[in-house]
A = this chain, B = another copy of it.
């Protein structure tokens, strides 16, 4: 039976939404679930079939980094990770500190052979109702061309085994279409990606084409990826605020909004990151899903579903074999 782990602490909304998400998930999926956290916050999970509460008395805080990883041995996150290494868990979902999760899992679970660093992979919806996956969204603050080639391999395997795309189109985020465009890192990376036979590299993609649905995987360094991700959030908020403002500033606008209520809700839902699960920590020897810090029940539920798919498909093992050119 698949064994999933949940770090129930460290999220913005507290453990109760995570508890609800776990109950809903266990209703839909037949797995074994270990939930790490302060047991008094997890009482609703007591005596539930296939759920084990792992009482963990410490919490990794937002500012906890590599040091805390070694100090807070009893933190829910660290316990979940330790048990992953001991093969008691097949994968983890956490809504806790990204920095702590990254350093702890890199340190303890370690990267796949052939991968120097983990990358955060996130999915965004496209105009034609497909998805586009980005990596790295900010696991690193600085990267080399070699890292980006590794990210291309990770993204390619993810799209193949989770999204079932035969030959995923892998593109490099850049400031123009031509090979000669971009800074030193982009020019070097373009050549490396072009020379690598392990995936279908289709060239550069610009920010304004990100959502066109023409590419499946967008590779970029962690700095640019994080800037891009947050700019998308900021722009979507701006457009939403303007829309609300405009509708509410006149009677006809208000009437229109009333009629269009369902349609507007539908639009918001299509843009909603929650449906797309969490960000995936790729490149490690176990799948780890980083749920958004402010995940509500639904978001955390989908993060669990995403983790389930990763484990069920044996994606990490497939990636490891593919990267090291072993037979699948």
Among A182, A227, A249, chain B packs the most CB atoms within 10 A around the CB of A227
| A233 on the B face (CB < 8 A) | yes
Contact with B along A247-271 (1 / 0, CB 8 A): 1011011011111111110110011
Give the docked Cα–Cα distance between A255 and B182 (Å). Answer: 46
> Given the complex, which residues of B lie within 8 Å of A271, measured CB to CB?
238-239, 242
Chain A interface size range: 35 or more
30 A-B pairs with CB atoms under 8 Å apart are: A141-B182, A141-B186, A175-B223, A175-B226, A175-B230, A206-B230, A207-B226, A207-B232, A207-B233, A207-B234, A211-B234, A211-B238, A224-B227, A231-B232, A231-B235, A235-B235, A236-B239, A238-B271, A239-B267, A242-B267, A242-B270, A242-B271, A243-B264, A243-B267, A246-B260, A249-B266, A252-B262, A253-B259, A255-B256, A255-B260
> Given the complex, which residues of B lie within 8 Å of A263, measured CB to CB?
246-247, 249-250, 252-253, 256-257
> Given the complex, which residues of B lie within 8 Å of A258, measured CB to CB?
256
> Given the complex, which residues of B lie within 8 Å of A233, measured CB to CB?
207-208
| A237 on the B face (CB < 8 A) | yes
> Whole-angstrom distance from the CB of A52 to the nearest CB of chain B?
36
Q: Which of B141, B142, B208, B262 contacts A230 (CB 8 A)?
A: B208
Q: State the number of copies, please.
A: 2
Minimum-distance CB pairs A-B, first 8: A256-B260, A207-B230, A256-B259, A253-B263, A207-B231, A235-B235, A246-B267, A142-B183
Contact A247-B230, Cβ < 8 Å, known A223-B224, A235-B211, A235-B236: no
Among A52-70, those with CB < 8 Å from B are none
A231-B256 in contact (CB<8A): no
Contact with B along A180-203 (1 / 0, CB 8 A): 011110100000000000000000
| A115 on the B face (CB < 8 A) | no
Give the docked Cα–Cα distance between A264 and B267 (Å). Answer: 14
| A74 on the B face (CB < 8 A) | no
Contact A210-B184, Cβ < 8 Å, known A127-B241, A243-B243, A259-B256: no
> Given the complex, which residues of B lie within 8 Å of A259, measured CB to CB?
252-253, 255-256, 259
